[in-house]
Structure formats: C-alpha cells, structure tokens
Structure 1
Amino acid sequence: MSEPRATRVLVIGYVWPEPRSSAAGGHMMQILETFLQQGWDITFSSPAGSGEHRADLTALGIREVPIELNNSSFDTFVRELAPDVVLFDRFMMEEQFGWRVEKHCPQALRVLETSDLQSLRDARHQRLKARLKASDDANDFTDLFAPALREEFEFMADTNLAKREIAAIYRCDLNLMISEVEIELLVEQFNLPRSLLHWCPLMVDLPNQLPVPFEDRAHFLHIGNFRHAPNWDAVLWLKTVIWPMIREHLPGAQLHIYGAYTPPKATALHNAGQGFHVMNWAEDALQVMSAARVSLAPLRFGAGIKGKIVDAMLCGTPTVTTPTGAEAMHGSQAWPGAVCRTAREFADNAVRLHTDKSDWQQAQRQAQALLASRYQQSTHGPALIEKLLYCQRHLAQIRRDNFTGSMLRHHQHKSTQYMAQWIEAKNRVPEKVI
C-alpha cells in the first residue's frame, strides 16, 4: 500500500523572503521552516523581482516559481500544481490571485499571512503627519500612543485600505495574525469571527549560550529596514531630538544605525562628530546587536510586533521603545528595558540603562523570561500545524459559517477577474503604429 502524498503548499509572496532585512521576511521563513518540519511539499512563487538579500529557498528544498500579475499562465500553473494549502503573503496577493485559486483549486485551504494590519499602520501614520503639521512640539507624543480600540476603529473605518484588507481577511479560510491587539481590534470593533483568526507571532528557538555581559558591550544601536516607513521616521526623531538629549548626559556616546536599502537621505545624516553613525546593512544583525549595550526603537507609528526587538531579546540587549514599539509584545510580562512616551523620557531611560549595570542586568533577565513565555517555536509551530489541519478537516463547515466571506468572494472576485482579464487582453494588443 502506497504512502499518502505529502501536503502540497503554495505560498504566493508579495516579495521573495529576506529574513535578514525585515521582520516580515523572518516570520515568513519561520512559517516555511514549520511546514518543512512536517515534511510538506512547498512551492514559493512571487511576481516581485529578486531582492538584494533574498533567502535561498531552493537550498531548503523549496521550489521557486516566478509568476506574473494579470496573466492566465498562473491558471495553468496552479491547476497543475493542485495545492492543498495556499498561503497568501499579505492581502494584496489575495486580491490578485485569490479568485484564480478559487476557480482552479476550489478545495485548497486559503490562508492569509497578514504580517501586520497595514490599514492600522497607515491610519497611525496619517495621525502622526497631522500631529506634526499641527504642532512643533517634537518631544511629547503621548496622545498618539496606544489609543483605545474604538479610537483606532474610528480612524480606520472609512479608509479604502481598511476595506480592502478586511475584505481579504473575510475571503480567506484562516488568517495568521502576529499581534493579539490586532486580533482584538478586528473582533471587537470590526466584528470579524474570532474563528477566522489565528495568533502566530514571531517564532524563535531560545539561545543556548549566555549573552555577552555588560562590560564587553559598548554604544547604542538602532536597526531597521529603511524601506519600512516607521523605521525612517524613528531615525529622524533620533537624529533631531532624542540623540542630542542623550549626548547631553553622555558626550562621548556613539549610536550605530543599521538598515537594509539605506537611501542617500539616510546616509546624509551620518555625523561622526556627533556620534551618529549610519552603517548601512548589517550582514549579521544578531552579531551587531550582541555588541551593543542598548537598543533604541523610538517608533512613533506602526503595527504588528517588532522583529528588531525580538532580536534584541535573543541577544540579551535591553530595548528602549515607545508604546507602539512594545504593543502586543509582552502581555503581562515586564518589559526588558523601558517604554517611553516622550523624547525626554526616552533619552533619560536610554542613559540609565547604558550606565546602570544592575538595571541593565535586570532588563536582560526579563528578556529571557519574555522569550520563553511568548515566542518559542516549539509552542507556536505545532499550534499552527494543528490549526491548519483542523481547518482542512472542517473546510466545508468553515466556509458555510463564513457567509460574509462567501458573499465578498462572489462580488470581489468577479470584479477583480474582469479587470485582470481586461489588463491581460490589453497587454496582448500591440500598440497602433502611427
């Protein structure tokens, strides 16, 4: 008797994963590794170009297949592949390819990896822009941080981005959510069924060696992909307000800023005389994080949870951040560093952790406890597999219960299908020669 074939998974990526450039890339790799541990057969496809720091998926035994937007060649590809599970990496991929998957592989489980709620991040970005325009106070942003869920809903509800993103969530059979706060926002304010959402945070293996001690570290560090708008805004706030405050107390302090895809506008901020060093991309983020004494993450807007902060915890490096940076990351656990609402509070806590060995060591211990309680791959990996298998077994009932999703698929997919077919037909027609 032949053995049953391995579960076939198709991942449709917004980009090719870059785990050393972004938390989203790291989370995708953690999901892929979880699937590989099950012996699942994985194909990763994307319409994006190849990034500078992309992972080598083929070395892991994952097939890489480029695909095109608005091209019926995908129909043949997905029909022949016949996947059991299709994972859309961010809602834009569900918009583009969801109707094609449903048409040609109707029994495939459709899963959305949200990464974070982009509509939430965008709404917070617009609030920050309005606040900066209305006031020249660059110190106190308390009114922006951690508003009530109802306030978040009010800012998001009328935006096209929220309507598109939440419609895509409804159309899928399961949605992977990295943030518990975003789960509560969707359930309590947007009235999504909790059964459609699965908490899947960053998943890491706990370090098996002691972190670098206080005496062997030096300087401050900030790290983050410059293509991610919250990171660029954080660098600007550091440069113009926070770092000068830190240097008032520590005149010899040095700040090393690392980030993938460093633009000229960031390089222009480099000033060795001020101890402000823009270092470009870090080949090994954990290595530079382990050498730093304190990590700075002054995020004035954003969503999801922060890979740079999990990396800091893995290295035993205390982090000073804002309520946005700490959101959904520590539950009832103590924060391994400091959470601050003003630039002055941020600078004071950064100086304290840089100079006070006892406080620094306590923050390091809190980081180790937090990792063990919330981020272990050995907990979240099996939970993800169990949830996917449950959804496969009960797929018909899940879809029957999700009438709103069925209705949205009926209308959205028709309009998307016709638009895609129109674009494809237009692309085939040669331009008229004049």
Structure 2
Amino acid sequence: MTQPHATKVLVIGYVWPEPRSSAASGHVMQILETLLQQGWDITFSSPAGTGEHRADLTALGIREVPIELNNSSFDDFVRELAPDIVLFDQFMMEEQFGWRVEKHCSDALRVLETSDLQSLRHARHQRLKDRLKASDDNNDFNELFAPALREEFELMADTDLAKREIAALYRCDLNLMISEVEIELLVEQFNMPRNLLHWCPLMVESPSVPPATFEDRAHFLSIGNFRHAPNWDAVLWMKTTIWPLIREQLPNAQLHIYGAYTPPKATALHNAAQGFHVMNWAEDALQVMSAARVCLAPLRFGAGIKGKIVDAMLCGTPNVTTPIGAEAMYGEHSWPGAIAHTAQEFANNAVQLYKDESCWKDAQSFGQTLLNDRYQRSIHGPALIEKLLYCQQHLPQLRRDNFTGSMLRHHHNKSTQYMAQWIEAKNRNPL
C-alpha cells in the first residue's frame, strides 16, 4: 500500500531569512517551523543575494534553491517540484512568480505572507514627510497617530503601490496578516472578503526562566534593522528631540542603539559624551534586551506589529512607544510600559519607568500577560495549519467565490507572460 506523499511547500522569499536582523524574517522562520512540525517537505527559494546574517535553513531540513527574476528556468524547477502549497513572502514575489506558478501548478494553494501592508506603511511615511515640511514642531505628532480607517484608505487608495499590493492579495487563496487593524482596513474600506485573510501574528513561546530584575538592569535600549525606514526615522527623532529631553532629567542616562546593516549616517550620530551610543548589530538581541531597563521605540510611521516590542516582552523589559508602535498589539490588555503622543510625553514616561521600580514591575507583568494571551505559538501554529488544510480541501469553491481574484489572476498572468517573454528575448539578443 502506497503511503500518501508529504505535503510539498514551496516558499518564494523576498530575501533569505535573517531572523536576528528583522522581525519580518523572524515571522517567516516561525511559519517555516510550524510547517516543519507537520512533517511537510519544504523548499525555500529566493532571487535575493545572501545576507551576512542569514539563517541556515538546510540545518532545519529545508531545501534551498536560488532562483532568478525573469528567467524561464523557474518554469522547469516549479514543474518538477509540483508543490501542493506555494507561499509568497511579500507581494512582490507573487507579482514576479505567481503567473509561472499558475502556469505549471495551478492546483497549488497560493498563500501570501504580508509581514505588513507596505502600501499603508509608505502612505504613512509620505504623511510624515508632508507634516515635517509643513511645520518645524518636532514635539507633537498626535495628528499622525490616530487617523480613522477611512482616512488611511483615502491616503492609500490612489497610490500605485496599494493597487499592486491589494491585487496580489486578491490573486492569492489566503493571505497571512500580522495586524488585526490591517484586516479591518482591508475588509471595511477596500471591501476585501474576510475569508481571504487569516490573522497570524508573531508566534513565540513563553520564556522558561524569570527575567532579570530592576536592580540588575541598566540603560535604555533601542533596536531595529537600519534598512527599515521607520527604524531610521525613530533614531533621528531620538537624536534630535527625545534623547535631549531625557538627559535633562537623567544627566547620566545612556542609550544603546542596535541594528543590522548600520550605515555611516547612523554611526555618525554616535556621541558618547551625550550618552548616545550607536552599537551596530547585536549578536544576541534577546541578551542585550534582557540587560536593558527600558526599551525605546519612538515610531512615527509604520505598519504591522513590532517584533522589537514582542522581544521586549519576552525579556521582561518595559517599553515606551507611540500609538504606531502599539497598533494592533494589545487588544483589551494593559500596555507593558507607556504609549506617548509627543516627544515630551515620551521622555517623561521613559524617565518614570527608568526610576520608578513599582511602575516598572507593573509594566513587566502586563507584558507577560499580553505575551501569554496573544502571541503563543501553541495557539497560532495549529490555527494556521487548520486554515491551510481547510483551504486545500475547499480550493475549487474558494476560487469560484473569489471571482475578483480569478479575474485579476487571468489578466495578470497574460500580461506578465508577454512582458517576461519580451525581457528574455531582449536578454538573449542585446543591442
């Protein structure tokens, strides 16, 4: 009697995962580990170059296959692999490879891992740029932090990026969303069917050892990949406005800023005399987070949910952030630190948490409760598998019901195929 073959999953990554460099890569690794636990056969492919901090997927039993953009060799690869599920990591990978997947394995379940809504993040970035041009007030950004979903929609709706991204979501059978706010935005404002969206936040396991105590910690910490624009903007806001306000109240305070791929413009901000230390990449982010007393995340724009704040909760480190940083992260729970709307409020809250042990302990406790209730792998891992299996079993009906997606896939596949053929011909016969 023949045994049924293990479910074959092809993951097409925007980059090779670097879980110690970005929360997005960390989330991809959490999904991969969840699929591995099912005994599924996983192949990871990417057209990106290999980064210096990439994870060793082969050690986990995942096959690694580099691929190229606009190269028909992918056709032979995907035809031979014949995956049951294709997971696109970020919508650009669906744009580039989705039509080839459709051409050679149309029955494969198409899943998109969004990380965050990039069109929302970019629209918010533009709103911040407009605000900075219009006013030299570097303190109060409250107007950026609490827009209604309708305002967000109007900010996004006319952009090419939103049209591309949301079309890719429709073309997939299931989209993994890290933020409940983004789900509501898509459903209520863009009229996307809710059954195309699945809430899959960061998935972690509670720490097995107690966190370091208040007395055993020192200094403020900020962490985040410098290639991620919201992180770089947060560093600038700290340097120019927030950190001087903190130092007015705590003259000996020290801030340690960690981030992968530190550019010269960041190292140029290092100033030991001001207690402003740009530390480059952290070999172990959880170790440095555990040694800090307070985590600072002054994000003025962004989307999704914040891996640095989940890490802070894992380490029992209270944080101070903005409504952007806290968005979609805590539901009805108390925040594990403080949420500030102005630079002055941010600095005051940071100082209070740093000095007040009772307040600090309460924030630490809130973080542990929040972590247990919203981010447990034991909850979200099985839910993800259950959803994938359901979609596989009901795929014909799901695609029939998603007529808009079928229509967009039809036209995208035709137009992209013609463009790819033109590019390949031009590459073969350059002028």
- C-alpha distance in structure 2 between counterparts of 1:398 and 1:27, whole Å: 26
- C-alpha distance in structure 2 between counterparts of 1:36 and 1:164, whole Å: 31
Letter of the aligned partner of 1:372 in structure 2?
N
Letter of the aligned partner of 1:259 in structure 2?
G
Q: Which residue of 2 aligns with 1:198?
A: 198
SS of corresponding position for 1:175: strand
Q: Which structure 1 residue ranges, 4+ long, deviate > 2 Å from structure 2? A: none
Within 5 Å, give how 1:43-192 maps onto structure 2.
43-192=43-192
Q: Which residue of 1 aligns with 2:17?
A: 17
Q: Which residue of 2 aligns with 1:401?
A: 401
Q: Which residue of 2 aligns with 1:392?
A: 392
- C-alpha distance in structure 2 between counterparts of 1:132 and 1:151, whole Å: 19
Q: Which residue of 2 aligns with 1:236?
A: 236
Q: Which residue of 2 aligns with 1:302?
A: 302
Letter of the aligned partner of 2:360 in structure 1?
W
Q: Which residue of 2 aligns with 1:362?
A: 362
- C-alpha distance in structure 2 between counterparts of 1:331 and 1:267, whole Å: 37
Deviation digits for residues 18-69 of structure 1 (CA, Å, limit 9, x no counterpart): 0000000000000000000000000000000001100000000000000010
Pairwise CA RMSD of aligned residues?
0.5
Q: Which residue of 2 aligns with 1:428?
A: 428
Within 5 Å, give how 1:185-264 maps onto structure 2.
185-264=185-264
Q: CA deviation at 1:172?
A: 0.2
- C-alpha distance in structure 1 between counterparts of 2:17 and 2:97, whole Å: 19
Deviation digits for residues 107-156 of structure 1 (CA, Å, limit 9, x no counterpart): 00000001100000000000000000000000000000021000000000
List alignment gaps of at least 5 residues for structure 1. none
- C-alpha distance in structure 1 between counterparts of 2:67 and 2:79, whole Å: 14
Letter of the aligned partner of 2:21 in structure 1?
S
TM-score, with structure 1 as normaliser: 0.99
Letter of the aligned partner of 1:365 in structure 2?
S
- C-alpha distance in structure 1 between counterparts of 2:279 and 2:17, whole Å: 23
- C-alpha distance in structure 1 between counterparts of 2:425 and 2:222, whole Å: 48
Q: Which residue of 2 aligns with 1:328?
A: 328
Q: CA deviation at 1:12?
A: 0.2
Deviation digits for residues 188-238 of structure 1 (CA, Å, limit 9, x no counterpart): 000000000000000001101100000000000000000000000000000
Q: CA deviation at 1:420?
A: 1.3
Deviation digits for residues 232-265 of structure 1 (CA, Å, limit 9, x no counterpart): 0000000000000000000000000000000000
SS of corresponding position for 1:296: strand
- C-alpha distance in structure 2 between counterparts of 1:416 and 1:153, whole Å: 28
Q: CA deviation at 1:3?
A: 1.8
- C-alpha distance in structure 1 between counterparts of 2:297 and 2:128, whole Å: 16
Letter of the aligned partner of 1:50 in structure 2?
T
TM-score, with structure 2 as normaliser: 1.00
Q: CA deviation at 1:412?
A: 1.5
SS of corresponding position for 1:216: coil
Letter of the aligned partner of 1:327 in structure 2?
E
- C-alpha distance in structure 1 between counterparts of 2:256 and 2:414, whole Å: 50
Letter of the aligned partner of 2:201 in structure 1?
P
- C-alpha distance in structure 1 between counterparts of 2:322 and 2:79, whole Å: 47
> Is 2:287 aligned against 1:287?
yes
Q: CA deviation at 1:416?
A: 1.3
List alignment gaps of at least 5 residues for structure 2. none
- C-alpha distance in structure 2 between counterparts of 1:238 and 1:361, whole Å: 25
- C-alpha distance in structure 2 between counterparts of 1:253 and 1:235, whole Å: 16
Q: CA deviation at 1:288?
A: 0.1
- C-alpha distance in structure 2 between counterparts of 1:261 and 1:130, whole Å: 27
SS of corresponding position for 2:406: helix
- C-alpha distance in structure 1 between counterparts of 2:417 and 2:144, whole Å: 40
- C-alpha distance in structure 2 between counterparts of 1:228 and 1:146, whole Å: 22
